[in-house]
Amino acid sequence: MFWLSLRDGARLGELEVWHAEEFAAHMDRARDHIRPWVGPAFLTGDVDGARATLARYAGRKAADGARLYGIWRSEVLVGGVMFTDFDAAAGTCEIGCWLEPSAEGHGLITQAGGALLDWAFTSRGLHRAEWHCRADNDRSSAVAKRLGMTLEGVRHEAWPYEGVRHDKQLWAVLAPEWHDLER
């Protein structure tokens, strides 16, 4: 299994189907906190739903598409990062993230997101990476900024949530910009 050490003893690794029980327990802790910020298909409600979500991403990864990675602290799954879209032929990807409240404020998403961007640009030769978030999600916007992304625009009322439409930001970074960043 692939593992990448993160700060404070945390680690990043692939989320696979065999993690279904752990992913379901994590979603129970995180669901209400992340519900406004992630798509409804991601919010599994039980072990079978968790298994289905993880299997869906495993299938996408097998087709060289979307991928899902977990972040563990003290051997407990506390969040993750993902390629919500990955198109090697077009040279583009979109990354996203989620965390339960206990893991916020430690820089884990920035470090893990940076690892995904570095792999996409350096190992896979992609040219453009995007980050989409609700315009009122200040924490997510801050991560995009820390990753060296530029706010390219706002899609007005593009994010429906509980009967209200919210604006959606589009952030991006290009491979040459990423390689020029001081890290």
Report the pLDDT value the prediction gives residue 182, as an integer from 0 to 100. 60
Q: Is the pLDDT of residue 16 over 80?
A: yes
CB 66 within 8 A of CB 60: yes
Q: Where are the domains of the chain?
A: 3-180
Q: What is the 3-state secondary structure (H, E, C) of 94-163?
A: EEEEEECHHHCCCCHHHHHHHHHHHHHHHHCCCCEEEEEEECCCHHHHHHHHHCCCEEEEEEEEEEEECC
pLDDT higher than threshold 70 for residue 25: yes
Pairwise pLDDT comparison (30 vs 68), residue with the higher score: 68
Residue pLDDT, tens place only, 53-81: 999 999 999 999 999 999 999 999 999 99
Q: Is the pTM of this model over 0.85?
A: yes
Does residue 1 register a pLDDT over 60?
A: no
Q: Which of 15, 47, 42, 19 is nearest to 30 (CA)?
A: 42
- To the nearest whole number, what is the mean pLDDT of the chain? 92
What pLDDT is recorded for position 42?
A: 75
pLDDT for position 41: 75
Condensed to tens digits (0 to 9), the pLDDT of residues 100-116 reads 998 988 899 999 999 99
Tell me the three state secondary structure of residue 1: coil
Q: Architecture of domain 3-180 in CATH? A: 3-Layer(aba) Sandwich (3.40)
Strand 3-5's sheet: what is its strand order? 3-5, 11-14, 67-73, 76-87, 92-99, 128-134, 164-174, 150-161
Please compute the mean of the pLDDT values over residues 174-180 and round it to a whole number: 93
- Judge whether residue 183 has pLDDT over 70: no
Spatial separation of the C-alpha atoms in residues 43 and 48, rounded to whole Å: 12
State how beta strands 128-134 and 92-99 pair.
Answer: parallel
